[in-house]
Structure 1
């Protein structure tokens, strides 16, 4: 039989990535967390946690983590069925998403459902090509990802696509591209890039002009709102989703550069086959409405 306290300690470390944070969550000492995890590993005969910063679970740890999280969901569902949900009870879910979705269409879409069903969401933000790893590691219940293949025990559904265009202000174009959109101009003009995981801009510059990221000046601005604002202010040029820029392009405040480099990013919703009714509700909302919302500002 699994020891309840040992499993709680393991779950806390796996979800927080730290023995110290796990100790704070459970209101015990870090040494007590360590002893409980070590005892659990000894009892099961497997290493469960790789002691790194942040900590990560092993393959055996992933199996246990998935079991414990599913057990927690089943317990929560049973308690709701037996006792009902009180007026002050909120249901928590953990979702991984890319920053642009969170900054644009995701929250407005989910808002009515979150309020009606008293749901709070702990969002984890990562590059859209990496979010499914957070789910694979058992750190979230569901995720939005560009990965189209479903993991074992999961369901994947296409939500829709976000279109990204390379844009800049007319003033920026006049200053840096007055002789055309050529290799020399792109070598000198400052670019706006989200972070070092964002390869869209670098890939286009390499494919179109043979320029590596070391060949041109660029900002790293790891905030969707600040990223777009930097382009709106004329600090640089970069790829921004239609949802944030369609009206500005129509009004002439932004100009699309190199339309042939336009990128359509397909987004998928990943969730476990066995999940709570609350997550089923969120999945239904996303599956039926996300595509339409993402296309709201198409032109």
Structure 2
């Protein structure tokens, strides 16, 4: 049998990335956390935590993390179902890309979160990376562009987000007067979400043979600030219809190159066995996500 105190210590280190932060969470000393994790590693015969800054789990540690995260959810659901406790909020951990979180995801989830008293701890990463957080056991489900589900999980298609290649009319006149081509892109400032923004960097690389070191660019790791930067004329970039539609209608932004619009398919990855609460969110996402994804902001 696993020792629950040792497992709690391991879980705290894995989730916070630090023995000191784990100690604060558990209200014990860092040395006590270390002893408990070491005892668990000795019992299981595997190193579970790589002592770095931040700490990270080994392959064996990831397997244990999956198990403990999943068990915690099932236990929480069982207790609430058995006792009929409805006053307490039910917490879920979801990984999503920033654009989904800033646009369609919260309006879609809002009614269910309020009705069923659910709190969400969102983990934000690029849509090409969020499934790694599920694999690491840090979240219960994720929105990702990855099509293949890992063992024990299901991947369900949600819909596709349409992204337009946009800039202000003045920006287009200044930088793309002769069209969007390789030479123009070498000089025009780009808007990139962050270093993981493969949508931008991969498309420019594939279509025009340019990597980020060959053109000026801003890193703006905020969906709302990214939109603001485009409207302010600081650069060109890809914006989802949900954000850009009204600005395109008002001609504050224009499509600099309509042929460069992108369709980003998104999938909902979740465990085959999950709580009733997550089943509720899964059904909602499965039936409604595709309908709301490309609706413009009102």
Q: TM-score range by the shorter chain?
A: over 0.9
Q: Give, in angstroms, the shift of residue 91 of structure 1.
A: 0.6
Work out the CA distance in 1 between the residues paired with 2:228 and 2:256: 17
Instruction: Please show how residues 261-272 of structure 1 align to structure 2 within 5 Å.
Output: 261-272=260-271
Match of 2:121 in 1: 122
Residue 296 in 1 paired to residue 295 in 2? yes
Work out the CA distance in 1 between the residues paired with 2:89 and 2:81: 15
Q: Give, in angstroms, the shift of residue 73 of structure 1.
A: 2.0
Work out the CA distance in 2 between the residues paired with 1:60 and 1:212: 37
Match of 1:242 in 2: 241
Contact 2:69 2:138 in 1 (8 A): no
Distance 1:81 1:209, change over 3 A: closer
Instruction: Please show how residues 1-299 of structure 1 align to structure 2 within 5 Å.
Output: 1-87=1-87, 89-297=88-296
SS of equivalent to 2:139: coil
Q: Give, in angstroms, the shift of residue 25 of structure 1.
A: 1.0
Work out the CA distance in 2 between the residues paired with 1:41 and 1:212: 44
Work out the CA distance in 2 between the residues paired with 1:49 and 1:57: 5
* Residue-by-residue CA offset, 1:102-159 (whole Å, 9 max, x unaligned): 0000001101100111111000000101100000010001000000001000011000
Work out the CA distance in 2 between the residues paired with 1:62 and 1:212: 34
Q: Give, in angstroms, the shift of residue 86 of structure 1.
A: 4.1
Q: Over aligned residues, Cα RMSD in angstroms?
A: 1.4
| TM-score with structure 1 setting the length | 0.95
Structure 1, unmatched stretches of 5+, are none
Work out the CA distance in 2 between the residues paired with 1:262 and 1:144: 21
Distance 1:116 1:208, change over 3 A: same
SS of equivalent to 1:236: coil
Contact 2:241 2:295 in 1 (8 A): no
Work out the CA distance in 2 between the residues paired with 1:118 and 1:235: 41
| Higher alpha-carbon deviation: 206-215 or 192-201 | 206-215
Q: Give, in angstroms, the shift of residue 210 of structure 1.
A: 2.5
Contact 2:66 2:135 in 1 (8 A): no
Work out the CA distance in 1 between the residues paired with 2:210 and 2:82: 63
SS of equivalent to 2:221: coil
**Number of residue equivalences:** 297
| TM-score with structure 2 setting the length | 0.96
Distance 1:165 1:70, change over 3 A: same
